[in-house]
């Protein structure tokens, strides 16, 4: 299946399906023929699990750099190391980078491609559920100790090859984390899809075909938004539902200790409490959604590990903040997101509500 992404800077396709890597590479033969060198940037866990499959299905010669896994991939030190590797391989503006891994690898590799010689082409080959979101749309970044994804660029890939065979090696925590972004896509787009998720099987036990359909649906939701707003000036902010408070939890815990999707799920419940005030979401739905999250194994312990004052410095670094005012993506109803400015004092009230709600269930 091919899903077009018609970004303002250029158009490309997301090829998604079981066992599609070899076919997808062949269908982009001109892209690979033009490359004087191909550099595969991956991490130690992905390469250990997927090296054989990748080499069997990728017919071109390449050089590989195996990097640290997780958020350690997105440090200044690793960014410098990747740039050094490209220089040592004598890469030029005709060289091609392959981002082979999950969201962290894709973010890092995309930023490397965006900045090496002021920009060289790259292809996303995501290997996680989480990356169905991050591999599409051209957001690239590394972390700073003072904030997540603070140094980066909007830089679109030439193509995305999403072979769902790669998902077989994911553990339960990785599946659960990735599904939080699927759930987010449902919340901002489709009430019926949300009902299907809430009433369906545990998110870590979905049949393979159903999971693939959900991922394709999520890609379509994101592609439609990116086509309208490539650089997050308006509607692309909707994709940050749950991320403002979630990123604060993730950053306070130290990147990697709380999985990104786990933090987003906490942020989604926080946002639903705000939606009760500013939209038409009722408290019964919020409690039902929280119960769904808990039944699916999403951990909420991190909320109790930090005071609101400790989270505040990370909230105020949110990239959606406007002249010091926090902006949250909220839902009027399921499928109808909007952006709302929220005073810090009200954020504190909602934080207290969240802690009280967690004590009830």
Is 118 considered catalytic here? yes
Residues of the chain with CATH 3.40.50.1970: 2-169
Is 355 considered catalytic here? no
* pTM for this entry: 0.92
Q: Which of 45, 148, 184, 260 is catalytic?
A: 260
Is 2 considered catalytic here? no
Residues of the chain with CATH 1.20.1090.10: 184-360
| Range 270-298 burial, b when 16+ CB lie within 10 A, else e | bbbbbbbebbebeeebbeebbebbeebeb
Is 63 considered catalytic here? no
Residues in the chain: 361
Q: Which of 236, 237, 262, 276 is catalytic?
A: 236
CATH, domain range 2-169: 3.40.50.1970
| Cβ atoms 141, 113 nearer than 8 A | no
Output the six-digit token pair for 102.
């999950």
Q: Which of 57, 78, 240, 296 is catalytic?
A: 240
| Range 54-92 burial, b when 16+ CB lie within 10 A, else e | beebbeeebebbbbbbbbbbbbeebbeebbebbeeeebe
Is 236 considered catalytic here? yes
Which of the 8 DSSP states describes residue 13?
A: E
**Cα–Cα distance measured from residue 97 to residue 65, given in angstroms and rounded to the nearest whole number:** 11
Is 260 considered catalytic here? yes
DSSP reduced 3-state for 216: helix
Output the six-digit token pair for 119.
């920009």
Output the six-digit token pair for 121.
């082409």
Q: Which CATH number is correct for 184-360, 3.30.70.3420, 3.40.605.10, 3.40.930.10, 1.20.1090.10?
A: 1.20.1090.10
Is 247 considered catalytic here? yes
Q: Which of 45, 148, 243, 296 is catalytic?
A: 243
Q: Which of 174, 232, 250, 276 is catalytic?
A: 232
Q: Tens of pLDDT along 223-248?
A: 999 999 999 889 999 999 999 999 99
Q: Which of 222, 237, 250, 296 is catalytic?
A: 222
Q: Tens of pLDDT along 196-212?
A: 999 999 999 999 999 99
Q: What is the mean pLDDT of the chain?
A: 95
Is 181 considered catalytic here? yes
Nearest CA to 215 out of 245, 153, 170, 269 is that of 170
**Cα–Cα distance measured from residue 211 to residue 85, given in angstroms and rounded to the nearest whole number:** 36
Is 240 considered catalytic here? yes
| Cβ atoms 64, 97 nearer than 8 A | no
Q: Which of 181, 230, 262, 276 is catalytic?
A: 181
pLDDT in single tens digits along all 361 residues of the chain: 999 999 999 999 999 999 999 999 999 999 999 999 999 999 999 999 999 999 999 999 999 999 999 889 999 999 999 999 999 999 999 999 999 999 999 999 999 999 999 999 999 999 999 999 999 999 999 998 877 888 999 999 999 999 999 999 999 999 999 999 999 999 999 999 999 999 999 999 999 999 999 999 999 999 999 999 999 889 999 999 999 999 999 989 987 789 999 999 999 999 999 999 999 999 999 999 999 999 999 999 999 999 999 999 889 887 677 666 899 999 999 999 999 999 999 999 999 999 999 999 8
Is 304 considered catalytic here? no
């Amino acid at each position: 299946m091919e899903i077009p992404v018609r970004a303002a800077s250029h158009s490309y396709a997301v090829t998604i399906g079981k066992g599609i890597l070899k076919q997808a590479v062949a269908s982009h033969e001109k892209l690979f023929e033009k490359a004087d060198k191909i550099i595969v940037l991956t991490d130690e866990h992905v390469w250990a699990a997927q090296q054989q499959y990748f080499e069997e299905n990728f017919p071109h010669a390449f050089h590989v750099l195996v990097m640290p896994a997780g958020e350690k991939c997105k440090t200044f030190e690793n960014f410098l190391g990747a740039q050094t590797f490209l220089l040592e391989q004598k890469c030029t503006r005709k060289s091609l980078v392959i981002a082979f891994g999950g969201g962290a690898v894709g973010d890092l590799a995309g930023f490397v491609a965006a900045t090496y010689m002021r920009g060289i082409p790259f292809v996303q080959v995501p290997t996680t559920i989480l990356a169905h979101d991050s591999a599409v749309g051209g957001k690239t970044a590394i972390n700073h100790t003072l904030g997540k994804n603070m140094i980066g660029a909007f830089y679109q890939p030439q193509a995305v090859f999403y072979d769902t065979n790669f998902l077989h090696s994911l553990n339960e925590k990785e599946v659960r984390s990735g599904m939080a972004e699927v759930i987010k896509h449902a919340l901002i787009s489709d009430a019926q899809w949300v009902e299907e998720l809430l009433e369906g099987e545990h998110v870590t036990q979905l049949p393979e075909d159903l999971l693939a359909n959900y991922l394709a649906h999520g890609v379509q939701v994101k592609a439609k938004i990116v086509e309208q707003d490539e650089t997050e000036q308006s509607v692309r902010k909707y994709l940050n539902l749950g991320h403002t408070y979630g990123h604060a939890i993730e950053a306070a815990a130290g990147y990697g200790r709380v999985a990104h999707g786990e933090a987003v799920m906490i942020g989604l419940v926080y946002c639903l409490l705000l939606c009760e005030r500013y939209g038409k979401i009722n408290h019964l739905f919020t409690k039902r959604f929280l119960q769904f999250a808990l039944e699916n194994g999403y951990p909420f312990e991190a909320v109790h590990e930090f005071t609101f004052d400790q989270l505040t410095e990370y909230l105020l670094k949110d990239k959606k903040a406007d002249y010091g005012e926090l902006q949250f993506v909220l839902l009027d109803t399921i499928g109808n997101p909007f952006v709302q400015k929220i005073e810090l004092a009200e954020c504190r009230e909602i934080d207290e509500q969240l802690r009280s709600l967690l004590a009830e269930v």
